[in-house]
Amino acid sequence: MRVLSSDHKPLDAVFKLQYDAVVPELKTAIHAEVAREIDRQENEGRPSIAVAVERATGSSSPGEEHKTDSAFEGVDFGEVKFAKSYRRNVTIANTGRVPATFGLADRPVEKDQPAGPFPPWLSVTFDREQDKIDKPKPDDIHQHFTLAPADVLNIELKLKIENLSSVRDLNEGDSMLDEVLVLRVENGRDHFLPIRAHWLPSALTRSIDKLIKIPEGGIRKLQHQVPARGEVKWSVPREIFRLTEAIEDLTERTLAEWDMTKSQGERAPWQDNAGWPFVQGRNSSRDEREDELAQVYDALDCDTPFSDAFYPETRSTERVQVLAEALITFLSSLTDGVITKSLWEKLEEALIRREKATAPTAPEDDKMTVLEILASAPNHNATFLLILSFLQNIANQITEASKPRPEDSSSNKRASADMSLPSSPQAKVRRKTLSRVPEVAIRQLIVRNFAVVFAECLVSWKDGGREREKAVRKERMVGVLELFLRENER
């Protein structure tokens, strides 16, 4: 319609017009509805998962159900001890309408922490095989798993503290069992799974000077007190005394049981390895005794009887092997060593002088030199002498058990089987260097193997050095142990 101006007298008129107009309120409402619909369609097209955490303790030991926090939004392992395995289950479900591909991504770590999707003390097991990927994907997911809509995947988390450096950090409060796992979903949002546990103090990774101040009742009785500030309770660490005493008794019982129940041609427990019971034979399985070994360490920490750590059906042979392994681990964990770095430096100087001497020195003189050096540290010296006496006792028991009984003298075949030389995988020994007397040769092999095994765990070595220097250093310590252990040989 066109409106033209006119010079005539104005006229009144009413016009009806139709035009497009925007109502702000309606526009906002429609815009919001459209946005919601688009978001809904996008979300339905994106992968989505739900994570369900097991709230039960999952502990293999009764009476520990109250030691975890069911209100914690994550995986709470409760109180944990050295060498004991703790398991928890996590369920992941695909709650979306499309397949979901996900996996554990690298977790955020501090500068001094090991990188990776989970810490060294935690292992993760999935109940299905991971996806087969032809080409590596440009993400930090280590294992990819794909779930169809409404499909479910189960994960087992196992916590086990068995690294001595981790034990040392936990005992000193330098680290915590507190981590966050990252579940990364391709084209979806990340899920964060907190992990935590409470560490129970252990007697491992302590110094002798601290251990001799721990009262009866064990390290747990201190209730976070510092043992170094207490008064001296023992001349040697009570834990070492208890282990050596128990091993001596069980070795005697094991040898007596074997002597009474052995069949013709059956090999004695020490014949598979001359380092027995400190080195297990080929028929021994360490995994079968894992729970009992953990209970032995707990008995050390709580100062409870070792007999309570074993199942009633566990034989004496298996018990003594578990206790022997615990002793080796305990000695290796000493932060200052039975022979400290400073003591070893003095010992090595004396040993080098003896090696360079033109005239050989008498064994008694060499022993006196060693003891004079160790006497400057009375508690370390007492611990060293206790272990020497203990090893002599074990070697004597096995040597005596290897002799044929008088009633077996008529059976040459059986007698020769009992007196056969044991295997010596830990120590290379030339046959011509051994005595021609069978029982003496057996004891020489046992002493050599004992010396090789204990040389590693008695000395606090200096860090670094070439492999050849380390081998020479260890051989000198082996010689020191043999010097004392051979004193009863003829």
* Strand bridging mode 191-199 / 178-185: antiparallel
**Per-position pLDDT tens, the chain of length 490:** 666 666 666 667 788 888 888 888 888 888 888 888 877 777 677 888 999 998 754 444 444 544 666 677 889 999 999 999 999 999 999 998 889 999 999 888 777 777 888 999 999 999 999 988 877 776 678 889 999 999 999 999 999 999 999 999 999 988 899 999 999 998 888 999 999 999 999 999 999 999 999 988 888 887 666 655 668 889 999 999 999 999 999 999 999 988 888 777 678 888 888 899 998 765 555 667 899 999 999 999 999 999 999 999 999 999 999 999 999 999 999 999 999 999 999 999 999 988 888 778 888 989 999 999 999 999 999 999 999 999 999 999 999 888 776 655 545 544 444 467 888 887 787 777 787 888 888 888 999 999 999 998 999 887 777 888 888 899 999 999 999 998 555 4
* Strand bridging mode 75-80 / 191-199: parallel
Starting at the earlier edge strand, list the strands of the sheet with 178-185: 75-80, 191-199, 178-185, 100-105, 145-147
Sign of the C-alpha dihedral, residues 214, 216, 219, 225? negative
Question: Domains in the chain, ordered, with CATH?
Answer: 49-199 (2.60.40.10), 238-485 (1.10.555.10)
Q: In the chain, what is the straight-line distance between the N-terminal and C-terminal CA atoms, in Å? A: 134
CA 411 vs CA 13, 182, 264, 271, 405: distances in Å: 142, 69, 10, 20, 10
Angle in degrees, 0-180, between the axes of helices 378-402 and 238-261, rounded to the nearest 10: 0
- Answer whether the bond into residue 10 is a cis peptide, omega within 30°: no
Residues 6+ apart with CB under 8 A from 155: 89, 90, 91, 92, 124, 125, 126, 127
Instruction: Give yes or no for a contact between 383 and 237, defined as CB atoms under 8 angstroms apart.
Output: yes
Q: Give dist(CA 251, CA 278) in Å, integer.
A: 11
pLDDT digits (tens, 9 = 90+) for 28-51: 888 888 888 877 777 677 888 999
Q: Give dist(CA 178, CA 172) in Å, integer.
A: 16
Query: By C-alpha distance, which of 194, 291, 181, 304 is closest to 242?
Result: 304
pLDDT digits (tens, 9 = 90+) for 416-426: 444 678 888 87
